[in-house]
Amino acid sequence: MLGAIEAGGTKFVCAVGDESGKIIERIQIPTTVPEETMAEVIQFFKKYNIEAIGIGSFGPIDVNTESPAYGFITSTPKIAWKDYPLVRVIKETFSVPVGFNTDVNAAALGEATFGAAKGLDSCLYITVGTGIGAGAIVQGKLLQGLSHPEMGHILVRRHRADRYEGKCPYHHDCFEGLAAGPSIEERWGDKGIHLVERTEVWDLEGYYIAQALMQYILILSPKKIILGGGVMNQKQVFSYIYKYLPEFNKNYISLPKLSDYIVSPGLGDRAGITGALQLAYQALRNENQV
Ligand code: ADP
Ligand code: ZN
């Protein structure tokens, strides 16, 4: 039996399942303070004979196995979780191999193994929600360098008519600062879900997302692009992305049919937790190799 945790800023999803992606039980726990939330997480897994646990976490997190802070949530604005040693706590409690990566990398792995990018050795998973983050599979492996990528914070060219200053506390008008859910709400004065009829909202959203995708395509050349997160429930955004991307590309890169290339998650809202199960499976396999 494998355990999986999708650690988010508002909730933790915990599941037990197997390497085929089958989920046997799944629960949600509100993200409060570590003592409270983690006590419930531990109680849930204690019911099972768990062989390995995979974690896809909000961040930034330390994913460098050589680092003294490996497995920590590092500089999160959620103060109670800052410098929290998530992997150490799980390892000390269960004494099993632990796989650890970002929530979006876990979702990319889930989609590449069982979802919209199944069978491909390359894909990009992007979430447009409270923040914007992306995870990439490159040549069959999760992309990692000094640390994990932070593709949500790339700089984009501002739309000529957009006077909104941007919401990113670090960069103001980076991609996340101009296009994540809270920036939509602040720019237009209402939550995205109440702006369904306002076509200019989703046109501008598509404009920024297409720009970001253009840059990801130029750098990573992904074989499939998967867009999830709350904002992407507005399916009309896809048509604006399909409209703007060719305007940025100008026929430079030859791309597949856009409606096949840029898609919703095949696993729906289970991409992250299914990927975390795969992280557990990978951790178990790696342990058995040594
Ligand atoms: P999180 O990023 O916190 O994990 P979500 O992916 O649900 O959670 O993103 C939440 C953001 O997405 C909020 O800013 C919310 O307003 C926006 N959002 C959620 N659902 C919708 C929707 N159906 N239409 C437009 N915006 C939405
Ligand atoms: Zn930023």
Does ligand 1 lie within 6 Å of residue 285's CB atom? Answer: no
User: Do 71 and 123 sit in the same domain of this protein?
Assistant: no
Does ligand 1 lie within 6 Å of residue 152's CB atom? Answer: no
Number of structural domains found in the chain = 2
pLDDT band, very low/low/confident/very high, at 149 (cuts 50, 70, 90): very high
User: Do 276 and 260 sit in the same domain of this protein?
Assistant: no
User: Do 12 and 98 sit in the same domain of this protein?
Assistant: yes
Residue 96 lies in a domain: yes
Q: Can you give the pLDDT at residue 166?
A: 98
Does ligand 1 lie within 6 Å of residue 129's CB atom? Answer: yes
| Residue in 31, 125, 188, 231 to alter for ligand 1 test, most ligand atoms within 8 A of Cβ | 231
> What is the average per-residue pLDDT within 205-217?
99
> What is the average per-residue pLDDT within 122-140?
97
Atom from ligand 1 closest to the CA of residue 195:
25
Q: Can you give the pLDDT at residue 127?
A: 98
Residue 206 lies in a domain: yes
* Rounded Cα distance, 15 and 270, in Å: 11
CATH at residue 65 = 3.30.420.40
What are the Cα distances from residue 194, in Å, to 93, 121, 178, 188, 198? 44, 38, 18, 10, 9
Give the ligand with the smallest distance to the CA of 172: 2
CB 171 within 8 A of CB 153: yes
User: Do 163 and 89 sit in the same domain of this protein?
Assistant: no
* Rounded Cα distance, 52 and 168, in Å: 36
| Residue in 11, 57, 102, 130 to alter for ligand 1 test, most ligand atoms within 8 A of Cβ | 130
The β-bridge partners of 177 are: none
User: Do 217 and 281 sit in the same domain of this protein?
Assistant: no
Atom from ligand 1 closest to the CA of residue 131:
2
Quick one: which of 267, 209, 222, 287 has its CA closest to 56? 267
> What is the average per-residue pLDDT within 211-240?
98
pTM above 0.85, yes or no: yes
Q: Can you give the pLDDT at residue 290?
A: 54
pLDDT band, very low/low/confident/very high, at 225 (cuts 50, 70, 90): very high
Residue 111 lies in a domain: no
pLDDT band, very low/low/confident/very high, at 201 (cuts 50, 70, 90): very high
Sign of CA dihedral 267, 272, 278, 280: negative
Q: Which two tokens stand for residue 279?
A: 């992280």
Answer yes or no: is pLDDT of 77 > 90. Answer: no
Atom from ligand 1 closest to the CA of residue 234:
24
CB 198 within 8 A of CB 185: no
Quick one: which of 149, 98, 145 has its CA closest to 125? 149
Residues 6+ apart with CB under 8 A from 163: none
What is the residue-averaged pLDDT of the chain? 97
- Give the model confidence (pLDDT) of 263-278 as tens digits: 999 999 999 999 999 9
Lowest mean pLDDT among 7-11, 217-221, 225-229: 7-11
| Residue in 168, 191, 197 to alter for ligand 1 test, most ligand atoms within 8 A of Cβ | 191
Atom from ligand 1 closest to the CA of residue 10:
3
Expressed in angstroms and rounded, the spacing between residue 170 Cα and the centre of ligand 2 is 5
> What is the average per-residue pLDDT within 238-252?
98
Ion ligand 2, residue ranges at CB < 5 A: 153, 168, 170-171, 174
Q: Can you give the pLDDT at residue 288?
A: 82
User: Do 48 and 158 sit in the same domain of this protein?
Assistant: no
User: Do 120 and 254 sit in the same domain of this protein?
Assistant: yes
Expressed in angstroms and rounded, the spacing between residue 177 Cα and the centre of ligand 2 is 6
- Bridge-based pairing of strands 2-7 and 98-102 is unpaired
Tell me which of 59 and 5 has the higher pLDDT: 5
Domain that holds residue 157: 116-264
Expressed in angstroms and rounded, the spacing between residue 235 Cα and the centre of ligand 1 is 13
Expressed in angstroms and rounded, the spacing between residue 201 Cα and the centre of ligand 1 is 15
Q: Can you give the pLDDT at residue 180?
A: 98
